[in-house]
A and B are shown apart, each in its own frame.
Chain A
């Protein structure tokens, strides 16, 4: 070392550490600092004995206190279930209309419903219930199976084309795939459906397919295309399209006849929870424009 090893101002020894000409003083540590360090080591030994600490080949040292995060989580979940069960019981005792009329019950149902919706329904219907192609929009005023509180609760309970014995069900035939109609006939029918919803369509095709519609479609969708609540047959005159409203999508649906499935939730939700969910969906929807039909 060529540098003097004491700081000329304070007389304190210097270490070998140097940064841009600034050198570190080598002051001794206070003795108590060493004790604190020993204390942390002693603490860690106690901790190893009391708490789960060392990993082994097929397990770990469990510690004398028997602490387990898994057991803790399971216990907390159980507490949560018990706490929720109280709220569910209150809702179960009330009718759907009572829940909606009582601000306290309503806010409880909305909170529970939102949570249940996010866990179970959002996968298909979207986080806010906005729907997706093939999965109905639950926020508007168009309903396949009815948008009243009771109808919504019933749909939640039995599902659509589910394995529940009382399931809501109907079948849209695959007219093209099953060779019930020719490609040309399907093209004409597509124009007819476009015309039903009030859009411009090829008048010749519409004229040609009037009888086709009456024979094949009107039984479910109605002679004027208004749909049917009993059969969950969509209204073809409005602007809402489950599988898309352009010509290609309408043609594809007539050809393939896609039939969406909604599971039955009867076994998954307690009656109180199902009520909360029905109230939540109903509260967020814009009523039911087809209720009169």
Chain B
């Protein structure tokens, strides 16, 4: 339920004469044309609880981002010693003690599904916390505004500086700001590429032109996007480019905690003198502090809106004012639409965290997490697949026996070499043979560590054991005391 408070916008009265398209175009041109210029936003520095949380999360998330590639993790042999590494050249993903192969990409898919479900659940419960606190766009924009403030001062000083004519003072402040911005942007793009190559090696090769081209391109691209998105685009990215503001409406309902202006308490608003009574009026003194601190440039008193990233800076700003004028805090707070509407008619608000949608999301989250854990526990050191020859499906030999050809793909996921014994079960009297191996019987194969070995295997069965059509059979691959069974088939058609 969205409550519209702002009735000041121009609504064409019913029965007014229709306006032609051409007239509308002219009206638009008068009002700034078909394209809307960006209105600059000068967010004012605010102090308070949520600002503290934002600083803490900013430091934490940036620290994780910059430090992670430098963590070392010892692995045997020539394997990389980087704890977190997406090794495209070697086709491996390393995460501390975990190593994923490309064919296990479903774990990454599962992680993304988990991330999406966690986002849905958080949004249904507490609104767009991701947008307000953890999204890289928000974190880097916050960092860039911090840098901007270092050079140009707070809101009023920045507005004065922008309005002032060009001078040495303006030039060095603006120049310094952009220089540091570009430095941070380069640091951002530069840190990204360490996730894909050995960091200590890359930081050397990068400067002498010997790093891979992808590293330079990725670094340049992320430097550019960081500088443009965090420095210049800012709230425009959220409002115009990001799909999430459009999607999140489907997760929210009137029981979701969001940054809310409690109009039941604030209205009617108006300026207040110290000597005046608070009777018969709202607590909102119309000081506009919630508007000037907003990084999205909106007025939260208009109600929940697409642009709001739920960051809570207006909560801090309003609390500060309420303290000054001697009214209780929380005129703007994390609250639900339903609670505000209930208070507005004098009822006691009820908060319901357990709702059908939060239950769906929580159950889905638990199920997918369970599947992930189950799949991960069931991972084997040996990844075995049997590809049966389709052409020819079988060959009949001069003594009437039947031979099928197979290619076994044996992936040794461990870091040590392994010796496995390949045998065939399910067909009476079947003999196993592999090129390069003497005689018949179980085939011994050396599997090099951390790679897939391809083995050609032929199975010959006596005519009486080879039934018509395909019969179920299996390769038994013995690795020490463990036996992996790989299901396959043994085929025989009618004699040609």
Contacts and interface: CB of A to CB of B under 8 A. Distances in A.
Nearest to B495: A239
Contacts of B14: 4
Interface residues of B, number: 42
Nearest to A290: B398
B18 interface: yes
A239 B400 CA distance: 8
Contacts of A28: 28, 32-36
A139 B398 contact: no
A283 B36 contact: no
B33 A140 contact: no
B232 to A, nearest CB: 8
B4 interface: yes
Interface residues of A, number: 47
A128 B36 contact: no
Given A130-B392, A286-B458, A1 B398 contact: no
Interface string A1-16: 1111110111101001
B398 A140 contact: yes
B432 to A, nearest CB: 13
Contact of B395 (A26, A27, A139, A290): A139
Nearest to A101: B436
Contacts of A1: 18-19
A30 B240 contact: yes
A123 B11 CA distance: 77
A289 interface: yes
Output the residue of B16, B435, B458, B460 with the most chain A CB within 10 A. B435
B396 interface: yes
A5 B24 contact: yes
Nearest to B28: A28
Contacts of B400: 239
B38 A8 contact: no
Contacts of A284: 405, 435, 456
B158 to A, nearest CB: 20
A142 B454 CA distance: 27
Nearest to B438: A101
A30 B38 contact: yes
Interface in A99-148: 100-101, 103, 106-107, 110, 126-131, 137, 139-142
A141 to B, nearest CB: 5
Contacts of B33: 28
Interface stretch (A31-39, A65-73, A207-215, A268-276): A31-39
Taking chain A's interface residues, is the majority helix, strand, or loop, or is none over half, making it mixed?
loop
Given A33-B35, A130-B391, A110 B456 contact: yes
Given A2-B18, A11-B11, A107 B454 contact: yes
Nearest to A4: B12
Contacts of A130: 391-392, 395
B9 A10 contact: yes
B59 interface: no
B287 interface: no
A122 to B, nearest CB: 9
Given A101-B436, A286-B395, A6 B38 contact: no
Contacts of B34: 28-29
A130 B396 CA distance: 10
A5 B399 contact: no
Contacts of A150: none
Contact of A6 (B4, B11, B495): B11
Interface in B440-458: 446, 454, 456, 458
A242 B352 CA distance: 81
Contacts of A178: none
Interface string B217-237: 000000000000000010010
Interface in A214-271: 238-240
A110 B460 contact: no
Nearest to A283: B435
Nearest to B14: A4
A30 B241 CA distance: 11
Given A284-B405, A289-B397, A30 B389 contact: no
Contacts of B12: 4-6
Contacts of B32: 28
Interface in B33-76: 33-38
Nearest to B37: A31
A60 to B, nearest CB: 28
Contacts of B16: 4
Nearest to B236: A30
Contact of B35 (A13, A31, A106, A142): A31
B403 interface: yes
Contacts of B103: none
A240 B21 contact: no
B201 interface: no
A142 B391 contact: no
Interface in A181-216: none
A140 B395 contact: yes
Contact of B436 (A31, A32, A103, A126): A103
Interface in B359-405: 389-392, 395-400, 403, 405
A265 B319 CA distance: 89
Contacts of B214: none
A137 to B, nearest CB: 7
A28 B456 CA distance: 65
B436 A8 contact: no
B494 interface: no
A121 to B, nearest CB: 13
Contacts of B233: 32
Contact of B398 (A2, A13, A142): A142
Contacts of A30: 35-36, 38, 236, 240
Contacts of A13: 24, 28
A186 B10 CA distance: 106
Nearest to A16: B21
Contacts of B38: 30-32
Given A4-B16, A5-B19, A289 B436 contact: no
15 contacts: A4-B18, A6-B11, A6-B12, A29-B35, A29-B36, A30-B240, A100-B436, A103-B446, A106-B435, A128-B405, A130-B391, A142-B397, A239-B495, A286-B458, A289-B398
Top 4 nearest A-B pairs by Cβ distance?
A130-B392, A283-B435, A11-B9, A28-B36
Given A1-B19, A130-B395, 20 more contacts: A6-B11, A11-B9, A11-B10, A30-B35, A31-B38, A34-B35, A106-B435, A126-B391, A126-B392, A130-B392, A140-B395, A140-B396, A140-B397, A141-B397, A141-B398, A238-B398, A239-B400, A283-B436, A284-B456, A289-B399
